[in-house]
Structure 1
Amino acid sequence: MTDERLMAGFRGHTHHGFRGTSPVIELDGVPVLVSMDIDGVLWTCDLRAGTCAQRPLELDAAAPDDDWYREIGLLDDDADEDEDWRPEFEIDVWGIVSVFTTGHLEGRPVVVTGGGRFDLARFEEDMMGGAVRVWDLRTGRKIGKTLTGHELGVCSLTAVPYERGLLVVSSSEEGTLLAWDVATGERLAEIEGSYNGAMGAALIDGRPIAATGGHDSFVQAWDVLRGEPLGEPLTGIEPVVRAIAITRTGGRTVVVGGGDDNALRVWDLESQKPAGPPLTGHTDTIETLGTATVAGRTIAVTGSRDGTTRIWDLTRGEQIGEPLDGRHLHTCIDIAGTPVAVTANSGNGILVWDLTRAAPAPPEQLR
């Protein structure tokens, strides 16, 4: 029997993916899923037609810029600047692209990547840490500077449009959260979050807000541009926290988090208190999390190691419908006016779900 909630499905693409989620972005008016293979080739998949195209990244350009070399002393002050002084660059795709996301920079679609813990080690024996880089989705060319500052690998990465353009927030294994203005390469904030954890960010009432969690029994919300905590830690969750989102529901801002204790928790950011009891149903770790608005209500969608994707009504505090097929939630997005969830299932396929069918309005709204 065909699941009426399923809009489209196709195989042969998820084996190209790296760890973490594969984002969806509009490219020339078409929603495409973006992933990357072990050779550093970008894959864009048309979610309507189910066709895929390749766009290799110019990974030779991943080396940091000249100023960065000068700062760590790799360029001798007496060296001839016209000489080819750059050290040989050994490409390690996994090191350069450990996690990635997408966004729009000055009208063009871009891919933002975060490197693993040994990303920068090839340049100087004592250097470690992952860098953040921006690439043109259409050409695969690197845009702007290589953004450095993390001591270990980048484990979470989010791009948020804000008043000056595109803000990228990166969280690393050592717990440092950095915020960058992509257009200028300016570092706007440095925040000490949770060790080796998760991070979610969003634009709420015109200001970028982030929330961090990990090997702590709490989640902390932050005003990103000020680099200041928003209230006290949000408690009640057990480590390890692996997925976090920030959204609006019922006129209030809420932080949503899940992880190794299999439950989804929701906190009211203003009151600093849980917005209800934990939402249970998963039987294994919640790994991925997204939010969407369907029929005027805010929902959360969670992917779990138990092999299912579940939908939750954040206002009513309950699960909606039966689980969807798919351990891994790639994203929630609006396609041609229809909110959808994109999941990966155990059969190595991509599934696109109509959330208006998967999360129908409650009976009282239908009267």
Structure 2
Amino acid sequence: MDNLAAIGLDGVPGVVGADSSGTIWTWNLVTGDRRERPLDLDNAAPEDPVPDADGEIWDEDDSDEEEDDLLEEEPPTADPDEVVSRLAAANFDGRPVVVTGGGRFDLTHLLGEDYMGGAVRVWDLGTGHKIGKTLTGHGLGVCSLVTVSSERGPLVLSSSEEGKLLVWDLTRGELIADLKGSYNGEMTAALVGGRPIAVTGGEDSSLQVWDVLSGEQLGEPLTGIEPVVRAIAIAEVNGRAVVVAGGDEMTARVWDIARGEQIGVPLSGHTGSIRSIAVTRLNGATVAVTGSEDGTARIWDIARGQQLGDPLAGHEGAIEVVVTTEIDGRPIAVTGGEDGTVRAWNLTLM
């Protein structure tokens, strides 16, 4: 399973994932308990009018003109795998929620062949019911999805195949920024100096840094990476904010955000594309954990540019590092693989 996110479960570290049937799974990382909850996909369709590929607006009332024809057709149904193409998690009004980003044909299954995908939805983790409205605005599928806190409250950021970065106010369900990133855009976001910052990348040989609330690009693009960028993380190293990114060139690179400069040497060792990056603290140092298509995860001391210990191996096929957290003071990494398994690793033992 390679569609996972970190989440708090009654004050205990946990992880949440989704399978191709639209079922949400949660794991308590302390007890190992696993629970499942199907999503209420009957309510996945948009409530508001949606423009089709030609810019025409779809509305449920339009169907009245062709009611006889529609009665002969099967009602539209959501494709679970398309609805839950990407996944993130957050706490909303004191309860854990799951945020999903739709694939390229998400809305095609619900509205017809003139519509594509990329809808964002919020789901109550306890009931599986949708919270608020289906959020639309992408023309193609969501490539990356994250949540981040801000002075406005929790935000949801989604980047898509057409290179669009949308920022949503989770509390109000309002779109607050529509930015232009990279095609097939990878993205991450975090608080830097108390301000939510996003970093985007994709099929360009650079990364872009954004002030999420103002919608302004910060500084010049961060250059020196080869496309396609498939994983980005933001960390703090020795008091300065840095970006760690990797992808098809099979190495991870590090940039100082304030200076806009690449620092250190590339982190090399993987033999397949880097699919994900998570960051944590280990023995007083900031480390990155990278997951790759070569079936391993590797731990890196970012400041020193060195790999720590042996690769984390055991999955078959590509893996994703989705979260690093602490249990009883021990940093834990969680990996999900295309082999359908989820594994937790005590990094102090590596």
TM-score, normalised by the number of residues in structure 1: 0.85
2:44 alignment counterpart: 62
Aligned residue for 2:158, secondary structure, equals strand
2:232 equivalent in structure 1: 244
Question: What secondary structure does 1:95 align onto?
Answer: helix
C-alpha offsets along residues 176-223 of structure 1, whole Å, 9 cap, x if unaligned? 000001110111111110001311111111211111111111111111
1:107 aligned onto 2:89: no
Contact 1:63-1:89 within 8 A present in 2 as well: no
What residue is the counterpart of 2:327 in the other structure? Answer: 335
Query: Which residue pairs with 1:46 in the alignment?
Result: 28
Give the AA of the match of 1:332. T
Could you tell me how far apart the structure 2 residues matched to 1:159 and 1:293 are?
21
Is 2:123 the partner of 1:135? yes
User: Residue 137 of structure 2 aligns with which residue?
Assistant: 149
Name the residue aligned to 2:301: 313
Matched residue type, 1:175: G
Residue aligned with 1:277, SS: strand
Asked whether the equivalents of residues 21 and 288 of structure 1 are also in contact (C-alpha less than 8 Å), the reply is no
Instruction: State the distance in 2 between where 1:33 and 1:49 align.
Output: 12
Q: Which has the higher contact order (CA 8 A, sep 6+)?
A: 1
Q: Identity across aligned pairs (percent)?
A: 55
1:67-118, CA deviations, whole angstroms, 9 ceiling, x for partnerless residues? Answer: 659x924244998xxxxx9x94312111211111111112110000000111
Aligned to 1:299: 287
CA deviations 1:335-364 (Å, max 9, x no partner) are 343221012367653321122333xxxxxx
1:284 aligns to 2:269 (yes or no): no
In structure 1, how many angstroms separate the alpha carbons of the residues matched to 2:343 and 2:58? Answer: 49
Matched AA of 1:335: I
Within 5 Å, which residues of 2 pair with 1:110-121?
Answer: 110-121=97-108
Measure, in 1, the Cα distance between the counterparts of 2:185 and 2:148: 19
Q: Secondary structure at the match of 2:128?
A: coil
CA deviation map 1:241-278 (0-9, x unaligned):
10001121111111110011111100001111111121
Give the equivalent residue in structure 2 for 1:72: 57
Superposed, 1:180-329 pairs within 5 Å as: 180-325=168-313, 326=315, 327-329=319-321
Unaligned ranges ≥5, structure 1: 1-16, 80-84, 359-367
Relative distance call for 1:347 and 1:183 in structure 2 (3 A) is closer
Q: Contact 1:115–1:153 at 8 Å: present in 2 too?
A: yes
Q: What amino acid maps onto 1:334 in structure 2? A: E
The answer (yes or no) to whether the contact 2:4–2:336 under 8 Å persists in 1 is: no
Paired letter, 2:133: K
Give the distance between the partners of 1:347 and 1:75, measured in 2 at CA. Answer: 41
Q: Which stretch shifts more, 28-37 or 247-256?
A: 28-37
Q: CA deviation at 1:119?
A: 1.3
- Secondary structure (helix, strand or coil) at the match of 2:43 reads helix
2:11 to 29, 39, 57: 29
| Correspondence for 1:166 | 154
Q: Which amino acid is 1:216 matched to?
A: D
Query: What's 2:67 paired with?
Result: none
- On the 8 A contact 1:307/1:346 being kept in 2, the answer is no
Tell me by how many angstroms 1:296 deviates. Answer: 2.7
CA contact (8 A) 1:21 1:331 kept: no
Structure 2 unaligned runs (5+)?
65-69
Does the Cα contact within 8 Å between 1:259 and 1:286 map onto a contact in 2? yes
Return the offset for 1:148: 0.4
Partner amino acid for 1:108?
R
Q: For 1:38, what is the secondary structure of its paired residue?
A: coil
| Alignment partners' CA distance in 2, 1:245 and 1:356 | 21
Which TM-score applies when normalising by structure 2?
Answer: 0.89
Counterpart selection for 1:351 from 325, 343, 350: 343
Task: Give the paired residue count.
Answer: 335
Compare 111-120 and 334-343 and name the one that shifted more.
Answer: 334-343
How large is the RMSD of aligned CA atoms in angstroms? 2.4
- Answer yes or no: is the 8 Å Cα contact 1:129–1:149 preserved in 2: no
Q: Report the alpha carbon displacement of residue 66 of structure 1 after superposing the two structures with TM.
A: 4.1
CA contact (8 A) 1:175 1:194 kept: yes
Residues 234 and 52 (structure 1), Cα distance of their counterparts in 2 relative to 1, 3 Å cut: same
3-state SS in 2 of match to 1:139:
coil
